[in-house]
Amino acid sequence: MNYELLRKLCATPSTAGDEGEMAQFILKYLCDNNKSFKTTPQVFSGAGFQDMVIAVFGEPRTAIFAHTDTVAYCTAHDNELVKIGNPKAEDGTELEGYVNGKLEKAVLKIKKKGKKGDKNAEETLTYSSDANFDLGTPLSYVPDWKETKQFVKSAYMDNRLGVWNALQQAHTMEHGAIVFSTYEEHGGGGAQFAGRFLQENFGVQQALISDVTLLTKHVRHKKGVVISMRDRGIPRQSYVRRIIAIAEKHGIPHQLEVEKAGGSDGNALQDSSYAWDWCFIGPVEDNYHCPGEKVAKVDIEATVKLYAALIEEL
């Protein structure tokens, strides 16, 4: 597989609440590649959709949800930084943000109050920079793409990889929908609007959450795509079992996950007033919410294969 598109996605700033640049990237991709799609999609964006993009192919039964936003920081008073979502960078991490339309660099400074090694010690986040950032400027990780035969590593695999997978599916999708959602990393909300739009206009009630999950002792690199049976939310298990059966039928390498915490666009759909079947499906990554998130290529390939089978058969 060619990962050049993924590299470009990872290098495009799109912090929660400031996803406009990514929306334009996706719209341009859909327009430029329209002739190579199996079905020409209806594309909904712009006024009323904020920075979301929804692409509808044929007569959809199932929708892919891929959030376009990332964790980051926001400039505040006295050079302080406020977290956007839950970033986990270390002291000295390079950040970047726009000044008069140009990306400028900054360095994250972390001071902790309390005993050394205390994970609960209070943190003060500031930054140093030669640039004059306006108040409220989002500062995200500086891209540092690395690719080997077995892995890809970059800031913001969460969730550029989910977006990339959705764009791969766009080429072969005959009937289905893709939601490029917003705000997932900082409270959710975009997915609920998109869910209502799809149900009321197209009758879609099935969702696949194209995202990445955390490396643990139970879900590992090179073991296949992860099918999450539950996290903070609990999807309807009959739907999850159908997905597992399709993965087994096609011989697609996969691993099952059960967690008691964490969430995604699937939780936002479950918290809405609309009935949704949903399941979180994606590869596992190391260095969660850090500048160098790492994913195995074989797991990415299994993810793409499973989504293609699910869109066709669900």
Same domain? For 173 and 96 the reply is no
Domain final position from 125, 141, 157: 141
pLDDT digits (tens, 9 = 90+) for 246-283: 999 999 999 999 999 888 999 999 999 999 999 999 99
CATH number of the structural domain spanning residue 101: 2.40.30
- Tell me the backbone φ, ψ of residue 127, rounded to 5 degrees: -145, 155
Q: What is the pTM of this model?
A: 0.96
pLDDT digits (tens, 9 = 90+) for 152-206: 999 999 999 999 999 999 999 999 999 999 999 998 779 999 999 999 999 999 9
Q: Kindly tell me if the per-residue pLDDT of 105 is higher than 70.
A: yes
Q: Kindly tell me if the per-residue pLDDT of 114 is higher than 80.
A: no
Q: Which domain holds residue 78?
A: 73-141
Q: Kindly tell me if the per-residue pLDDT of 226 is higher than 80.
A: yes
Same domain? For 150 and 291 the reply is yes
CATH number of the structural domain spanning residue 34: 3.40.630.10
Domain count, the chain: 2
Report which of 35, 265, 60 is spatially closest to residue 163, judged by C-alpha positions.
265
Average pLDDT over residues 72-92: 96
Average pLDDT over residues 220-233: 96
Cβ contact 274:21 at 8 Å: no
Same domain? For 119 and 151 the reply is no
Same domain? For 210 and 247 the reply is yes
Same domain? For 203 and 294 the reply is yes
Report which of 202, 225, 209 is spatially closest to residue 278, judged by C-alpha positions.
209
pLDDT value of residue 117: 65
Instruction: Tell me the pLDDT of the chain averaged across its residues.
Output: 96
pLDDT value of residue 189: 76
Domain final position from 116, 141, 166: 141
pLDDT value of residue 56: 98
Q: In this prediction, what percent of the chain has a pLDDT beyond 90?
A: 94
- Cα distance between the two ends of the chain: 25
- pLDDT-derived band at 215, boundaries 50, 70, 90: very high
Residue 252 neighbours by CB distance under 10 Å: 21
Domain final position from 111, 141, 171: 141
- Three-state SS across 210-229? ECCEECCCCCCCCCCEEEEE
Rounded to the nearest 10 degrees, the angle between the axes of helix 297-313 and helix 157-170 is 50
Same domain? For 184 and 224 the reply is yes
pLDDT value of residue 187: 83
Same domain? For 166 and 294 the reply is yes
pLDDT digits (tens, 9 = 90+) for 33-61: 999 999 999 999 999 999 999 999 999 99
Same domain? For 282 and 249 the reply is yes
pLDDT value of residue 205: 98
pLDDT value of residue 211: 97
